[in-house]
Chain A
Amino acid sequence: MKPAIAPAFSLGLKDLIGVVILGLVLVVLLPLVLDPFRLNMVGKYLTYAFVAVGLVLCWGNAGILSLGQGVFFGLGGYCMAMYLKLEASTPEATKIQSTPGIPDFMDWNQLTELPFFWVPFKSLGLSLAAVVLVPAAFALIIAYALFKRRVGGVYFAIITQALAAIMTILIVGQQGYTGGINGITDLRTLHGWDIRTDSAKTLLYFVNAGLLIGVILLCQFVRRSKLGRILVAMRDKEDRVRFSGYDVASYKIFVFCFAAALAGVGGAMFTLQVGFMSPSFVGITPSIEMVIYTAVGGRLSLLGAVYGTLLVNWAKTSFSESFPELWLFGLGGLFIAVVLLFPNGLAGLYRAYVEPRLGSLFGRKGAEPKASPAPAE
């Protein structure tokens, strides 16, 4: 008997259809029904989806819960913001400063020359590389230090949470170098292209959506490789993987760095679309919110994570407009509900209730349009 191809592989086509549907929702449906302001808002939500998708691999597949993804989102965002800020700080634009040609907040903090680590961000190429490499390198240091010592589970989660707190304090405290609590603001152009106009924001939305689809496809490739199955195996029986000849730590390091790099891309897209970056996207609260997006969407589903991100953010915007003081309770309640009632999130509900019905309706499984749970109004 020839061994038939195992189920994990036959999901390929179904996954692809899911990606196409998501693509149609993001690239066709939403731009048609939303005005530029709302579309830009969805674009902002979608930047969090990069983090959520990374968490699916890191947390859902490999079982590594990170409560500090905001750090990597922020690092990517800051790398982008530093480039944009330098471009906006030409000597002409800043001639009223005591030191023209450096970012305004440096001047306010009595800095008289550009700090050395800002210099590479004069180059667009280096800055774009830094968006991916700086979060990944930082993740590498953390992951190497912790995973080689076999720190895992809840201890790892707590340490990453502490990192988020430390990073916020560091950024706020080093005002002259980072812009402090206000962050890096007043960003204007990307390589001479004004990013503040409606048309620029719409174009950035499409770039963002395209990048997200690309990232999802990349994640699907990783998940369907043997590495993806090793991550699942490690989550279930770490010792068995270790005693099958694998260096378990190196796999954890890889997936953590990979998720960090994705978060960095999301952060950079956030900076471009929102026009600033500040420590409020780095700390504990945003980091935990990002985990909730993934949990709500379904921590084992890449597409679920995107829908979960959109849904929670849409709910956040709607509810906090009407009942600002109740929103946090709502978010906490939602997280508890997900953990207790539907641990596999929206994707789990979809698989349990919607997919079987679609199957009987159309005579085949999951090939038909999935109702988008979150078209953000």
Chain B
Amino acid sequence: MNATPISDQMAPDFLLAVEGLTVSFDGFKAVDDLSFYVDENEIRVIIGPNGAGKTTVLDLICGRTRATAGSVRFKNTELTRLKEYEIVRAGVGRKFQNPSIYDDLTVFENLEISYPRGRGVVGALTFKRDAAVKERVQEVAETIFLADHLNQRAEYLSHGQKQWLEIGMLLIQDPELLMLDEPVAGMSVAERKKTAELLNRIIKDRSVIVIEHDMKFVEDIAHKVTVLHQGKILSEGTMAKVQSDPKVVEVYLGH
């Protein structure tokens, strides 16, 4: 799996090409010479035991952590040299593991801030809440089941609603690559079901990388599964292939 980087002329076929990605924290290689490729409109699920480096991989792609070596190319743009906000503007959206929303603002304002316009200081000062913004916020709010909560302070939403709100905040930017870190963690059964439904709707026309532990959920949505273990790829392929891989069973699924 950790093959040498493929030649450049093949790269444009992929939306995201991660090659030889390595990051070490004080000598500890959290991600070790990792290579994988995500196609357009592909749903990729990353699974693996705790400490396998799953979240770190997302951090590396979105620029939150800087790679020690290797490359991350998105539509042929090298991301490892870009600033975080430039990566976002290039079309990569990232949802954090814990719902990361603005407690002191309303649901409407949370979504409005994420609306991709007026992102500079001057743009933000002169930003007008016009019909296009209101319509788009309304549309997204309906998608994430929060249309009736637009004027509520985000602080007072339930845990599941906060997760949906953050997904909505990404959705309003319409990213080409959406990265979700455990989107159903901590949710009730009913919320889980609704979230799966939501994800199935929003993953159309974009590529998605999901980190998830819930195997039922993974089976439902994954096109391809990557199993990480100690910063390296242990196995990769369809859910069926991965599940029958003895190495995977031993380190992860077995217990």
Residues of A within 8 A of B (CB): 1-4, 6-8, 222, 225-227, 229-230, 232-233, 236-237, 239-248, 250-251, 254
Q: Are A1 and B147 in contact (CB under 8 A)?
A: yes
Q: Quick check: B126 and A225 within 8 Å, CB to CB?
A: yes
Are B85 and A2 in contact, CB atoms less than 8 angstroms apart?
no
Q: B121 touches which one: A229, A237, A239, A251 (CB < 8 A)?
A: A251
Check if A8 sits within 8 Å of B109, measured CB to CB. Answer: yes
Question: A1 and B100: CB pair below 8 A?
Answer: no
B214 within 8 A of A: no
Instruction: Known A-B contacts: A2-B134, A233-B110, A240-B166. Give 9 more (CB < 8 A).
Output: A3-B134, A8-B106, A222-B125, A225-B126, A229-B113, A232-B102, A236-B102, A237-B101, A245-B85
* Cβ-defined contact, B105 with A246, below 8 A: no
Q: A233-B105, A254-B121 are in contact. Are A240 and B85 (CB under 8 A)?
A: no
B223 within 8 A of A: no
Q: Out of B108, B141, B173, which one reaches A244, CB within 8 Å?
A: B173
- Whether B246 sits at the interface, judged by CB under 8 Å, is no
Residues of A within 8 A of B102 (CB): 232-233, 236-237, 240
User: Are B88 and A225 in contact, with the CB atoms below 8 A?
Assistant: no
A230 to B137, CA, bound (A): 17
If A237-B100, A244-B88, A250-B120 touch, whether A6 touches B109 (CB-CB below 8 Å) is: yes
| One of A2, A225, A236, A239 near B96 (C-beta < 8 A) | A239
User: Are A239's CB and B109's CB within 8 A?
Assistant: no
Q: Assess whether B116 is interfacial by the CB under 8 Å rule.
A: yes
> In the complex, what residues of A have CB within 8 A of residue B120's CB?
247, 250
Contact partner of B104 (CB less than 8 A), chosen from A232, A242, A244, A254, is A232
A236 touches B103 (CB 8 A): yes
Min CB gap B35→A, angstroms: 24
Task: Quote the shortest CB–CB distance from B15 to chain A (angstroms).
Answer: 19
Q: Which residues of B contact A233 (CB under 8 A)?
A: 102, 105, 110, 113
The count of A-to-B residue pairs whose CB atoms sit within 8 angstroms is 100
A4/B121 in contact, CB under 8 A: no
Contact with A along B122-160 (1 / 0, CB 8 A): 001111000000100110010000010011000000000
Per a CB cutoff under 8 Å, which of B94, B116, B124 touches A243?
B94
A229 in contact with B84 given A2-B134, A3-B138, A239-B96 (CB within 8 Å): no
A selection of 12 A-B contacts at a CB cut-off of 8 Å is: A2-B138, A3-B137, A4-B150, A8-B105, A226-B118, A233-B105, A237-B100, A240-B101, A243-B84, A244-B169, A250-B121, A251-B124
Q: Are B113 and A226 in contact (CB under 8 A)?
A: yes
Any A CB within 8 A of the CB of B247: no
Interface of chain A, main secondary structure: helix
Counting chain A CB atoms within 10 Å of each CB, which of B93, B109, B134 scores highest? B109
Q: Output the nearest chain B residue to A253 by Cβ-Cβ distance.
A: B121
**Using an 8 Å CB-CB cutoff, how does the interface string of B8-36 with A read, 1 for contact, 0 for none?**
00000000000000000000000000000
Q: Name A239's contact: one of B64, B83, B103 (CB within 8 Å).
A: B64
Contact A245 B89 (CB under 8 A): yes
Cα distance, A250 to B84, chains bound together (Å): 13
**B119 proximal to A (CB < 8 A):** yes
Asked if A243 contacts B173 (CB within 8 A), the reply is no
- Complex contacts, A241 vs chain B, CB 8 Å: 113
Say if the beta carbon of B62 comes within 8 Å of chain A: yes
Nearest CB on B from A276, distance (A):
36
B112 CB–A CB distance under 8 Å: yes
A1-B138, A226-B118, A233-B105 in contact; A242/B84 too (CB < 8 A)? yes
CA distance A248 to B100 in the complex (A): 16
Of B94, B113, B134, chain A has the most CB atoms within 10 Å of the CB of B113
With A and B bound together, what is the CA distance between A222 and B125 in angstroms? 7
Nearest-CB residue, chain B, relative to A245 = B88
User: B151 contacts A7, CB within 8 Å?
Assistant: yes
In contact, A247 and B85 (Cβ under 8 angstroms)? yes
Complex CA distance for A12 and B212, rounded to whole angstroms: 45
Closest CB of chain B to A258's CB: distance in Å? 10
User: Which single residue of chain B is at the shortest CB-CB distance from A225?
Assistant: B125
Taking CB atoms, residues of chain A closer than 8 Å to B121 are 227, 250-251, 254
Complex interface: chain A residues within 8 A of B93 (CB): 243
Q: How far is the CA of A372 from the CA of B137 in the complex (A)?
A: 41
Instruction: Give Cα A241 to B150, complex, Å.
Output: 19
Contact A247 B83 (CB under 8 A): yes
A243 and B138 contacting across the interface, CB-CB below 8 Å = no
Min CB distance A229 to B, Å, is 5
B58 CB, min distance to chain A CBs, angstroms: 11
B104 pairs with A236, CB closer than 8 A: yes
Query: Which 9 A/B pairs are nearest by Cβ-Cβ distance?
Result: A226-B127, A227-B124, A245-B88, A233-B102, A240-B100, A6-B106, A226-B124, A254-B121, A6-B108
Distance in angstroms between the alpha carbons of A151 and B27 in the assembled complex: 25
**Which residue from chain A places its CB closest to the CB of B135 in the assembled complex?**
A3
B105: contacting residue among A229, A245, A251, CB under 8 A: A229
CB distance from B152 to the nearest CB of A (A): 10
Chain A, Cβ-Cβ closest to B92: A243
Cβ–Cβ contact B104 & A243, under 8 A: no
Q: Which residue of B lies closest to A1 (CB)?
A: B147
Look across to chain A and name the residue whose beta carbon is closest to the beta carbon of B150: A3
Cα separation A248 to B124 with both chains bound (whole Å): 12
- Which A-chain residue is minimally distant from B155 (CB atoms)? A236
Bound Cα distance from A7 to B118, whole angstroms: 21
Most chain B beta carbons < 10 A, residue from A1, A232, A244: A244
Query: Given that A6-B108, A233-B105 are contacting pairs, would A246 and B85 also be in contact in the complex, using a CB cutoff of 8 Å?
Result: yes
Contacts of B41 in A (CB 8 A): none
Taking the complex as formed, is B68 at the interface, i.e. its CB lies under 8 A from any CB of chain A? no
Complex-state Cα separation, A250 to B93, whole angstroms: 21
Bound form: Cα–Cα A229–B121 in Å = 12
**Are B124 and A245 closer than 8 Å at their CB atoms?**
no
Does B114 have its Cβ within 8 Å of any Cβ on chain A? yes
